[in-house]
Amino acid sequence: MKKVVIPTKLDTVARDLLVANGFTVVQDSETPMVDLLKANSDCEALIVRSEEVTAEIIDMLPNLKTVIRAGAGFNTIDIKYARKKNVDVMNTPGANSNAVAEEVIAMILAVYRHVVPADISTRAGGWEKKAFMGSELTGKTIGIVGLGNIGQLVAKRTSGFEVKLLAFDPIVSASIAEDLGVKLVTLDQLFTESDVITLHIPENDSTRGMINASLLKLVKPGCLIINCARSGIINENDLKALKPEKKFKFCTDVYPKDEPGVKSIAEVADLMLPHLGANTHEANFNAAKRAGEQAIAYFANGVDTYVVNKGIPKELNENYQQLAHRIAALARHYVGFDRPVKRIACSFYGELNQFSKWFIAPVCSALSCEFEINQDPADAKRFLEGKGVEFIVRSADDSKQYGNSMTIDFEAGGGAKVSIRGTVAENNIMISRLNDYNRLYFVPRGNAFFVEYKDRPGVLSKITGACANAGLNIEDIHAPRDKEANTALAVLMTDKPVPQSIVDAVKADVQAKQAFAFTI
């Protein structure tokens, strides 16, 4: 009989479903989690909410087969260590989305109408109508950072207030945005024009500290910023430093740890809630039901949908997943983040063709910070479909004798296109072609600076000179030419990231068709 431990306050529907299907269930939110697990170290499944599942926790449970997060975010679970221990980690995306979207609206209205301080004042016998002059949401501009499940619901729920909707999402298609009545813009434009900014992105290496001084300096006086996502996506020091100057308002219900105690953000937060986003009866029920159903399907039929740390076949070198990720990251930079991706077409040559599905998630992970390289391929397909992005795998023509390599093509808005081929040579990831620039042989690792320009003498020296003047040491250079188009491509590897100011200056100086820098 399988044993499942639920060390959290979760609707009993999960327990009831599991018991009805022959599972032994221990649900206890009062006993400290470590003590509960010591007493039940023979469990094979763990269902959690926001509890941390560390390597130490996993090591305590030698029979553990799966951890199910009753919710979407899984940053509190060490998914990499879990994979090493052959433990599948699943989530229940979408179960809490409406609850969080409604919390965002509650926060906006509470701040706009001074609900909390006015209640406190009136209960104390005051009658301070003049002190609590409010604002109306109708007619305001709402900026949504991340158009996933929650972001899309925020757009739908706020549209009834007759607001203007802006969104930043580097992958969602123009057609999806149009259906939502949302205008896709750059992050800078969103922070500049919005009256309300609401954040709906996960916390990972790509997004940590993403909301920092450079963006906060752009906001309007009185702008309301809401964080119901993860605390680490905001640079707290920058927020504290700029709030008095920019006079924006800030609401949050997320913190480094879900626990009692003074919160460092309290001195600048206008409204704080104890991580109540998913804390509704409906969301708790939905997440619990999904978690219970997934556990039953997993053990009864081997259904591993929504596994976020799925391993790869032993025959597949994991470097090829990294290759797919880095090709896609380069392609995204080339077509530009201000253009939504419409279509991705891939060709996998040689032995890679049989593993084609294992490259979908790595491509997604390069496009969106919501995705991990090792997530479920089926989940990756659903994700792209939800964003309105067409993804196809073409039949590979092995008569071309490309060996074990892959080609990934992006088509984005405004007619932007790019085609990139890569391989793994001597266990090194290698980009061999970008459009018609053959024999590129670029290793995508470190700080890269790309400049594409009309081929003529002296341009490369201007690019390297600009780097030298900026104190950048050049570690490697690749400079292929497209003789038919009379264009050239310079790829410089530098010891430090190339500042955007240098990118802009070089682009203007050499009249470049394309110029961008990125670190990978």
Alpha-helical runs (H) found in 368-499: 377-386, 459-469
Does 194 score more than 90 pLDDT? yes
CA 73/CA 231 separation, integer angstroms: 13
Got the DSSP string for 42-60?
T-SEEEESS--B-HHHHHT
Tell which residue, 210, 205, 178, has the closest CA to residue 225.
210
pLDDT attached to residue 73: 79
What would the pLDDT profile of 143-193 be if each residue is shown by its tens digit? Answer: 999 998 899 999 999 999 999 999 998 788 888 888 999 999 999 999 999
Residue whose C-alpha is closest to residue 334's, from 438, 169, 448: 448
pLDDT of residue 107: 98
The confidence score (pLDDT) of residue 61 equals 97
Pairwise CA distance, residues 191 & 514, whole Å: 25
Distance from C-alpha of 46 to C-alpha of 55, rounded to nearest angstrom: 14
* Residues 218, 145: Cα–Cα separation, whole Å: 15
Say whether 310-445 and 3-93+281-301 share the same fold. Answer: no
Q: What CA–CA distance (Å, rounded) separates 235 from 215?
A: 11
- Per-residue pLDDT of 467-514, as tens digits, reads 999 999 999 999 999 999 999 999 999 999 999 999 999 999 999 999
Fold of 447-520: Alpha-Beta Plaits (3.30.70)
The string over 451-484, giving b where at least 16 C-beta atoms fall within 10 Å of a residue's C-beta and e elsewhere, is: bbbeeeeebbeebbebbeeeebeeeeebbbebee
With a CB cutoff of 8 Å and minimum separation 6, the contacts of 400 are 349
**Are the CB atoms for 501 and 466 separated by under 8 Å?**
no
Q: Is the pLDDT of residue 374 over 80?
A: no
Tokens for 173, please give them: 């298609």
Tokens 């500042």 belong to 499
| pLDDT tens profile 198-234 | 999 888 777 889 999 999 999 999 999 999 999 999 9
Cα 214 from chain centroid?
20
Chain mean pLDDT for the chain: 93
Q: How far apart are CA 99 and CA 441, in angstroms?
A: 49
Give the span between the Cα atoms of 2 and 437, in whole angstroms.
57
Query: What average pLDDT score do residues 340-345 get?
Result: 91
3-93+281-301 CATH choice from 3.40.50.410, 3.30.70.2470, 3.20.20.210, 3.40.50.720: 3.40.50.720
Q: Which two tokens stand for residue 175?
A: 């057609």
> pLDDT confidence of 51, banded at 50, 70, 90?
very high
- How many CB atoms sit inside 10 A of residue 185's CB? 18
Q: Where are the domains of the chain?
A: 3-93+281-301, 97-272, 310-445, 447-520
Supply the Cα-derived Rg of the chain in whole angstroms: 25
Tell me how far the alpha carbon of residue 408 is from its chain's centroid.
21
Strand partners, 344: 391, 410
Looking at the chain, the whole-number percentage of residues with pLDDT higher than 70 is: 100
Other Cβ atoms less than 10 A from the Cβ of 372: the count is: 22
φ, ψ at 270 (rounded to 5°)? -85, -25
How confident is the model at residue 111, as a pLDDT? 97
pLDDT at 44: 97
User: Residue 203 CB: number of other CB atoms within 10 A?
Assistant: 19
What is the band of 372 on the pLDDT scale with cuts at 50, 70, 90? Answer: confident
Under the banding of pLDDT at 50, 70 and 90, the label for residue 12 is very high
Give the pLDDT of residue 430: 93
365 and 375 Cβ atoms separated by less than 8 Å:
yes
Can you name the CATH fold of 97-272? Rossmann fold (3.40.50)
> In whole angstroms, what is the distance from residue 33 CA to residue 53 CA?
10
Residue 470 phi/psi, 5-degree rounding, is -90, 5
Sequence-distant (≥ 6) Cβ neighbours of residue 160 within 8 angstroms: none
End-to-end CA distance of the chain: 47
What SS3 class is residue 270? coil
CATH topology for 310-445 is 60s Ribosomal Protein L30; Chain: A; (3.30.1330)
Structure-block tokens of residue 520: 């990978």
Nearest Cα neighbor of 487 from 477, 479, 475, 478 is 479
Phi/psi for 83 (5° steps) reads -60, -40
Task: For residue range 230-285, list pLDDT tens digits in order.
Answer: 999 999 999 999 999 999 999 999 999 888 999 999 999 999 999 999 899 999 99
Q: How confident is the model at residue 39 (pLDDT cuts 50, 70, 90)?
A: very high
pLDDT score of 413 more than 90:
no
Distance CA 372, CA 361 (A): 7
Phi and psi dihedrals of 316, rounded to 5?
A: -100, 120
Q: Where are the alpha helices (DSSP H) in 302-348?
A: 319-335
Tens-place pLDDT, residues 97-119: 999 999 999 999 999 999 999 99
Q: What is the 3-state secondary structure (H, E, C) of 194-258?
A: CCEEEECCCCCCCCCCCECHHHHCCCCCCCEEEECCCHHHECHHHHHHHHHHHCCEEEECCCCCC
Tell me: the pLDDT tens digits for 68-102? 999 887 888 999 899 889 999 999 988 889 999 99
